[in-house]
């Protein structure tokens, strides 16, 4: 049996059985004790609850068979997880849960970019945005992010090279409607989630800033290049 503890930090509470942080779409219940129903999505969700990180749909399918004896076609699993917002998209064919890092709602990089820019409330460079996304567990080709930014009808470039998203109530309502960040019945939880995500991204940006200030040591022959500080290390 699970019950929800008050989150207080913008999350939707924690599972008292396994202690996992629950996303706003998870309805206050985790499947750490087993599938919550007999639909395909319930077996896939139960599998995701056992994993430490997002996984490709084919791995969710493989483990649903291994753990629960369920034979699920990869194509129908893809449809099931894409339609079920308990799963957070985190790359092409890859899904995790809120506890794993990716954001609730988005189903592509443009959605993710909108959500990051809207919650931070400030324009960001593509490199800063990319740092936030990598820190949240997203896996993608950097060129795909640039394409998503350029093609977005909601994200606009500034002359200084940063990218911006509209702020304010109207922009937020549109974001919630189009990206489905929170269930319609739980829209009142959006401000707390927005503030929690804003804190998360600000922490990422502060870390990135600190790393950028680390002086690069000169590269000499024979030096272990792996020891060089990089943006992602």
Contact residues toward Zn ion (CB under 5 A) are 15, 17-18, 20, 30, 32
In Å, the largest CA–CA distance within the chain is 61
Contact 109, 150 (CB under 8 A): no
Give whichever of 15 and 124 is closer to Zn ion, judged by the CB atom. 15
Smallest gap from residue 30 Cβ to Zn ion (A): 3
Smallest gap from residue 27 Cβ to Zn ion (A): 12
Distances (CA, A) of 134 to 106, 113, 167, 232: 15, 12, 24, 8
Smallest gap from residue 1 Cβ to Zn ion (A): 10
Q: Which of 136, 73, 70 has the alpha carbon at shortest distance from 109?
A: 136
Give whichever of 46 and 176 is closer to Zn ion, judged by the CB atom. 46
Give whichever of 17 and 65 is closer to Zn ion, judged by the CB atom. 17
Give whichever of 30 and 64 is closer to Zn ion, judged by the CB atom. 30
DSSP for 11-36 reads S--BBTTT-PBPPGGGTT---TTS-S
Distance, in Å, from the CA atom of 72 to the CA atom of 95, rounded to the nearest integer, reads 16
Smallest gap from residue 18 Cβ to Zn ion (A): 3
């Amino acid at each position: 049996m699970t019950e929800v503890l008050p989150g207080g930090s913008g999350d939707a509470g924690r599972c008292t059985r396994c202690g996992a942080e629950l996303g706003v779409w998870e309805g206050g219940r985790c499947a750490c004790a087993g599938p919550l129903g007999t639909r395909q999505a319930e077996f896939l969700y139960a599998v995701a609850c056992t994993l430490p990180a997002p996984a490709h749909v084919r791995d969710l399918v493989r483990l649903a068979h291994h753990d629960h004896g369920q034979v699920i076609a990869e194509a129908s699993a893809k449809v099931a997880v894409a339609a079920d917002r308990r799963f957070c998209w985190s790359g092409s064919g890859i899904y995790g849960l809120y506890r794993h890092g990716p954001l609730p709602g988005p189903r592509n990089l443009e959605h993710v970019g909108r959500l990051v820019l809207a919650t931070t409330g400030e324009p960001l460079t593509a490199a800063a945005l990319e740092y936030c996304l990598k820190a949240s567990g997203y896996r993608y080709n950097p060129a795909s992010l640039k394409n998503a930014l350029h093609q977005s009808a909601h994200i606009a470039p500034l002359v200084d090279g940063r990218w911006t998203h509209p702020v304010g109530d109207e922009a937020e309502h549109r974001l919630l409607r189009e990206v489905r960040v929170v269930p319609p019945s739980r829209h009142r939880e959006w401000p707390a989630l927005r503030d929690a995500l804003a804190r998360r991204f600000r922490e990422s940006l502060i870390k990135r800033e600190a790393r950028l200030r680390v002086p690069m040591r000169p590269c000499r022959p024979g030096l272990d290049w792996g020891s060089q500080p990089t943006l992602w290390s």
